[in-house]
Amino acid sequence: MDRGKFSTSYGCAVDKVVTLSHPAGVGGKSTAVKRLYIKTYGCQMNVYDSARMADVLAPHGYVPVDSPDGADMVILNTCHIREKAAEKVYSEIGRLRPLKEDKAARGERMILAVGGCVGQAEGEEIIVRADCVDMVFGPQTYHRLPELIVRATRATGEKVVDTEFPTEDKFDHLPEEARPQGASAFLSVQEGCDKFCTFCVVPYTRGAEQSRPVAAVTEEATRLVAAGSSEITLLGQNVNAYHGVGTDTAEWGLGRLLHHLAENVPGLKRLRYTTSHPRDMDDALIAAHRDIPQLMPYLHLPVQSGSDRILTAMNRRHDADTYRRTIDRLREALPEIALSSDFIVGFPGETDREFAETIRLVTDIGYAQAYSFKYSPRPGTPAAVESQVGETVKDERLATLQQLLRAQQTAFNRSKEGAVMPVLFDRPGRYEGQIVGRSPYMQSVHVTAPERIIGSVVDCRIIGVHNNSLRGEILTATTESGENAATVERACA
């Protein structure tokens, strides 16, 4: 697939739709409140992008709401990475159509937009197939949302497709964050990918690798912490390929960026980064795990397969042994580091023996948790035209791998029973009086405590272990707000 196929910008007037009045204030700033519903699919980068879309639209009177019912604008921020992504989007559009029609019957307008990677990959096709969609845009053009809305709401009934990879930097045009992200925040530092793994759409939908300057990242991190975030996860499709301009104008790698943030953003208690490529785990980044106390002892480092032949066919640019050595080096630097990975089973041509090599690698390494997927042909990617492994075989391999990964996750969780660890509480639990946080190793930890502890890092003893989470009790005498957490807990019980 040619990345250029996706770099065209269209401003097409496909079909006329019912043309309603221009919504007040779009294009210029307005205080008239308009309801904005964004549905986010896929990865953390999309979660971050959705928050930034809301930031872009906030000065134009758009306020996020939890339901598409009655919304003035609905954005589907889509993901194209795996199976049936486009079909899921068309089904969702089908569910939204009656809501849009209801609103039109009341003489009001719902602007329906498809953004994200399906928008980028499908472009105009979305409007051809679903004429109730007003706008299609990709991940690199959402800073232009206000002007796209103006075009989409013209009396001419223009449909708008903007899937360009613009020369201007999206981040230079985004406003400051309008709303706090909470205890744990995402910060995009790198976008796009030049690796071209043969199964993956990301290089086509997100474009070429780009890194934000250290100063811009530091400013955003400082604002996030000032707004109440204690933990920041640096995001990038290939985050450890980060090569942003440093404060000395030299190019800095991710290890140096992490040091800089840890030292220059007071109040930043925890740092994480995702997603990384094994080829880009350089010495400075490995040493950062040893040397930066704020950098959490957890790393998501996808390997995809344990077979060298499959890794070559995937164009992964590393073999199984190099991956194993990287893990050894990480464990030498920080013995407690917990590891996570992505796996694809049933890549075209994968034999039983090659799949067994994946099982062996998983057995040897021992993961704290992992994600595993059946290979799904992505249109336009090189592997999609190779001869495919049958569905039944894929199902069997996935079940075998997931059983092993689940056992490893349970074993890892059990190894923490009785341990005392700092937990960052970031959300209320499902049950009355319960709050939930993250251990340093990314495990969910549930405790009984009042909601005012949310936002604090508090020492907990792990008193119960489930497959996917831990149960804890609070130990620390004082929370960061100076409150006595033990008293707080008793007061609640």
User: With binding defined as CB under 6 A, does residue 199 bind ligand 5AD?
Assistant: yes
Q: Give the CA diameter of the chain.
A: 67
Residue 426, both tokens: 């970031």
Give the bridge partners for 231, in sequence order: 184, 270
* Strands (DSSP E) found in 147-261: 160-162, 184-188, 190-191, 210-211, 231-235, 244-245, 251-252
Nearer to ligand SF4, 163 or 341 (CB): 341
- Find the part of the chain contacting ligand SF4 (CB under 6 A) among 63-71, 198-206, 217-225, 444-452: 198-206
Other residues' Cβ atoms within 10 Å of the Cβ of residue 486: 16
Nearer to ligand 5AD, 141 or 304 (CB): 304
User: With binding defined as CB under 6 A, does residue 193 bind ligand SF4?
Assistant: yes
User: With binding defined as CB under 6 A, does residue 342 bind ligand 5AD?
Assistant: yes
User: With binding defined as CB under 6 A, does residue 96 bind ligand SF4?
Assistant: no
User: With binding defined as CB under 6 A, does residue 367 bind ligand 5AD?
Assistant: no
DSSP 214-229: HHHHHHHHHHHHHTT-
User: With binding defined as CB under 6 A, does residue 376 bind ligand 5AD?
Assistant: yes
Give the bridge partners for 210, in sequence order: 191
Among 302, 422, 429, 440, binds ligand 5AD (CB under 6 A): 302
Distance separating alpha carbons of residues 291 and 33, to the nearest angstrom: 48
User: With binding defined as CB under 6 A, does residue 202 bind ligand SF4?
Assistant: yes
User: With binding defined as CB under 6 A, does residue 86 bind ligand SF4?
Assistant: no
Binding to ligand 5AD (CB under 6 A) within 64-83 occurs at 81-82
- Find the part of the chain contacting ligand 5AD (CB under 6 A) among 8-16, 228-236, 372-380, 459-467: 372-380
Q: How far is the CB of 341 from ligand SF4 (least distance, A)?
A: 12
Among 115, 123, 203, 278, binds ligand SF4 (CB under 6 A): 203
Amino acid identity, position 261: L
Nearest of 50, 25, 46 to residue 36 by alpha carbon: 50
Distance separating alpha carbons of residues 62 and 110, to the nearest angstrom: 12
Q: What is the SS3 string spanning 367-381?
A: CCEEEEEECCCCCCC
How remote is the C-alpha of 83 from its chain's centroid? 17
Q: Do residues 70 and 63 lie in contact, with contact meaning Cβ atoms separated by under 8 Å? A: no
User: With binding defined as CB under 6 A, does residue 117 bind ligand SF4?
Assistant: no
Contact partner, 196, from ligand 5AD, ligand SF4, none, Cβ < 5-8 Å per class: ligand SF4
Helix or strand (DSSP H, E) at 493 = none
Other residues' Cβ atoms within 10 Å of the Cβ of residue 186: 22
Helix or strand (DSSP H, E) at 74 = strand 73-78
Q: How far is the CB of 299 from ligand SF4 (least distance, A)?
A: 15
Q: Is the preceding peptide bond at 8 cis, omega within 30 degrees of 0? A: no
- Find the part of the chain contacting ligand SF4 (CB under 6 A) among 17-25, 68-76, 190-198, 458-466: 190-198
Distance separating alpha carbons of residues 350 and 394, to the nearest angstrom: 10
Nearer to ligand 5AD, 230 or 274 (CB): 274
User: With binding defined as CB under 6 A, does residue 344 bind ligand 5AD?
Assistant: yes
Nearer to ligand SF4, 322 or 434 (CB): 322
Q: How far is the CB of 43 from ligand 5AD (least distance, A)?
A: 7
Question: Which positions from 386 to 425 touch ligand SF4 by CB under 6 A, shown as an x/- string?
Answer: ----------------------------------------
Give the bridge partners for 144, in sequence order: none
Among 120, 238, 439, 456, binds ligand SF4 (CB under 6 A): 238
Phi, psi (deg, nearest 5) at residue 39: -105, 125
Site residues (CB under 6 A) for ligand SF4? 193, 195-197, 200, 202-203, 237-238, 277
Site residues (CB under 6 A) for ligand 5AD? 81-82, 199-200, 302, 304, 342, 344, 373, 375-376, 378
